[in-house]
Amino acid sequence: MTSHRHLLLQSILYDPEAPRLRVLDQLLLPTRAEYIEVTNSREGWDTIRTMKVRGAPLIAIVAMLSLAVEVKEVLSGRLEELMAEDAVQWLIERLELLKSSRPTAVNLFTACDSAEELGKNKKRRTYGGYCFVPISCFVTLMDDCYELNRGEVEKGVIMCGEERLLGLINWVGR
């Protein structure tokens, strides 16, 4: 009998300390599983635009985390030399770039608009404050995804019947 190895794929791999973001290239699925290194918002834009990442919440998450990586790298050495308005303008330019990657992605626009509002907040005009902006939006997105998915699973249990759903989960997990 052949044994099947189950591979748990994660859509994103994010290390906030490094900072490092790697995104599963969904164009290669199901034949290959490879991760793309995303080091800034331009690479985030390219990953979204070329549809290497799909799904409304995930698109917004990749946008915010690509910006988080860039903010930490770029602004850590330059924030003191940047005037507050220049830093806000820098942030807005990156957000506009990210929005242009998928003009119909509602979650992306919502996250970018939230990040812009946070960035304009005078209390956030420090290095730590700018690092907080995309991460805060990311956390909100994750909370929203959790609530949405929990609701969808609950609907599925009601529609399919609990026994049938558990049977399906067991079959998929074989």
Residue 162 lies in a domain: no
Residue 107 lies in a domain: yes
pLDDT at 170: 39
CATH number for the domain that contains residue 122: 1.20.120.420
pLDDT at 23: 94
Asked if 7 and 34 touch (Cβ cutoff 8 Å), the reply is no
What domain range includes position 82? Answer: 12-137
**Residue 25 neighbours by CB under 8 Å, 6+ apart:** 34, 35, 36, 52
pLDDT at 116: 84
Residue 146 lies in a domain: no
**Long-range pairs of 51-58 with CB within 8 A, sequence gap ≥ 24:** 51/26, 51/27, 52/23, 52/25, 52/26, 52/27, 53/11, 53/23, 53/24, 53/26, 54/26, 55/11, 56/105, 56/106, 56/107, 56/108, 57/107, 57/141, 57/144, 57/145, 57/148, 58/11, 58/12
pLDDT at 160: 45
Residue 150 lies in a domain: no
Residue 2 lies in a domain: no
Question: pLDDT of the chain along its 174 residues, tens only?
Answer: 444 454 577 888 988 888 899 999 999 998 999 999 999 999 999 999 999 999 888 898 899 889 888 887 766 666 555 566 677 788 889 999 999 999 999 989 988 888 888 777 765 555 555 556 666 666 666 666 656 655 555 554 444 444 444 444 433 333
pLDDT at 100: 97
pLDDT at 161: 45
CA atoms within 13 A on the CB side of 172: 8
Query: How many angstroms from the chain centroid is the CA of residue 162?
Result: 32
Question: Which amino acid belongs to residue 108?
Answer: L
Residue 143 lies in a domain: no
Residue 5 lies in a domain: no
One DSSP character per residue, 32-92 reads ---EEEE-SHHHHHHHHHTTSS-SHHHHHHHHHHHHHHHIIIIIHHHTTTS-HHHHHHHHH
Number of domains within the chain: 1
Nearest one of 79, 75, 115 to 96, comparing CA atoms: 115
Residue 6 lies in a domain: no
